[in-house]
Amino acid sequence: MIAPAKAAPQPRQVERVRRATKRRVRRTRVRIHRPVFAVLALTVLVLVPLLAYVKLTSDLTSLTYALAETEQKRTALLDDSQRLEETIAKLKSPERLAQLATQLKMHDPHVYAVVQLPLPKVQPKPTGIAFFGWITHREH
Q: Spell out the domain ranges in the chain.
A: 15-108
Q: What does the DSSP 8-state code read for residue 27?
A: H
How many angstroms separate the CA atoms of 90 and 97, rounded?
10
Amino acid at 122: V
User: Across residues 21-38, what is the average pLDDT?
Assistant: 87
**Arithmetic mean of pLDDT over the chain:** 85
* List of residues 6+ apart from 137 with CB closer than 8 A: 126, 130
How many angstroms separate the CA atoms of 51 and 63, rounded?
18
pLDDT tens for residues 30-70? 888 888 888 999 999 999 999 999 999 999 999 999 999 99
